[in-house]
Amino acid sequence: CLVQVPLEKGKTAREILEEQGLWEEYRLKYPYNPMVKFDNSFA
């Protein structure tokens, strides 16, 4: 009755975008506020 799911620590979206030189474009095009997940007024 106890199960463990290993988690992989992979590349982040930011790292992938930075490697492709797209991070600045994406950051400006899709500005992100972490609070939007908990409060729609930030959407």
**Which residues here bind other proteins, judged by CB under 8 A?**
1-19, 23-24, 26-27, 30-40, 42-43
Minimum separation from the CB atom of position 41 to other proteins (A): 9
Minimum separation from the CB atom of position 11 to other proteins (A): 6
Minimum separation from the CB atom of position 25 to other proteins (A): 11
| SS3 call for 34 | helix
| Residues contacting residue 33 through CB under 8 Å, at least 6 positions apart | 42
- Between CA 14 and CA 27 the distance in angstroms is 9
